[in-house]
Amino acid sequence: MFEYRRFCLTLLGVFVVLWAMLAISPVSRGDWFLENILTLIFVPLLVASYWVLPFSRVSYGLIFLFMCLHSLGAHYTYSQVPYDAWFESLTGSTLNALMGWERNHFDRLVHFSYGLLLAYPVRELFFRVANARGFWSYFLPLDVVMSTSMVFELIEWAVAVWVGGDLALDYLGTQGDVWDAHKDMALASTGGLITMLITGTVNRRWQKDFAWEWQESLRVKVPAPLGENVLTRFFRRD
């Protein structure tokens, strides 16, 4: 238990230090503030949840990696993270030139990472709280990744309309791509699908009751139809 707590405190401490460093002189203070609104809500809630629902070290590690990427994007603005300059200093050539890219793709990486890194913690939540098993323990996390990715794009749209001007462009980071939101959602969904496929493959290999659990999760438990029949019973009780 001591090792587990030390691991969690280390991740939290490293993130707080990194976040504080990246909060110093960001490229756009307005964009930094907008990007960190959800961070300032999510991280305290995650810390508070430790006493009620502590996640596994794997989940905390994956969340830590995603939050580090997000903090980096908030510092530079997602469309101006200088990964090309960093890559060129190491290899002598830009990554965009090697890949044939014409835009800054850091935002694409983070959206992909949203699904890739957070689908597993979401699955752990469904598994431990909702007792999701079999098919539903893989489908529901992917569904949450897809739906929350869509909700975030709607939030971005609403915030951009509200703030307007150059700040809206920095916050959206579309870089002139009219299909930016669609591609971001597709990448998040792909990342989540990959994680669930990997998790399912590992479980299929090592979980002895995997096939039975999968079959049982798809079995009809309540054969009688609900809806209007249930309402009729409610009214009859009166």
Whether pLDDT at 173 is above 70: no
Task: Quote the tokens at residue 81.
Answer: 């993270």
Instruction: Sketch the domain layout of the chain as residue ranges.
Output: 2-219
Whether pLDDT at 98 is above 60: yes
* pLDDT 10s digits, 106-162: 999 999 999 999 999 999 999 999 999 999 999 999 999 999 999 988 988 888 888
Whether pLDDT at 204 is above 90: yes
Average pLDDT score, the chain: 90
Q: What is the DSSP letter of 179?
A: T
Given a contact cutoff of 8 angstroms between Cβ atoms, the answer to whether 139 and 195 are in contact is no
* pLDDT 10s digits, 207-219: 999 999 999 999 9
Of the candidate ranges 16-30, 101-115, 167-181, 221-235, the one whose mean pLDDT is the lowest: 167-181
Tally of residues, the chain = 238
Q: Identify the band that residue 236 occupies on the pLDDT scale cut at 50, 70 and 90.
A: confident
- Model pTM? 0.90
Whether pLDDT at 176 is above 80: no
Would residue 173 be called left, alpha or beta, if left means φ above 0 and alpha means ψ between -120 and 50 degrees?
A: left
- Residue 184: C-alpha distances to residues 119, 159, 235 (Å): 16, 17, 47
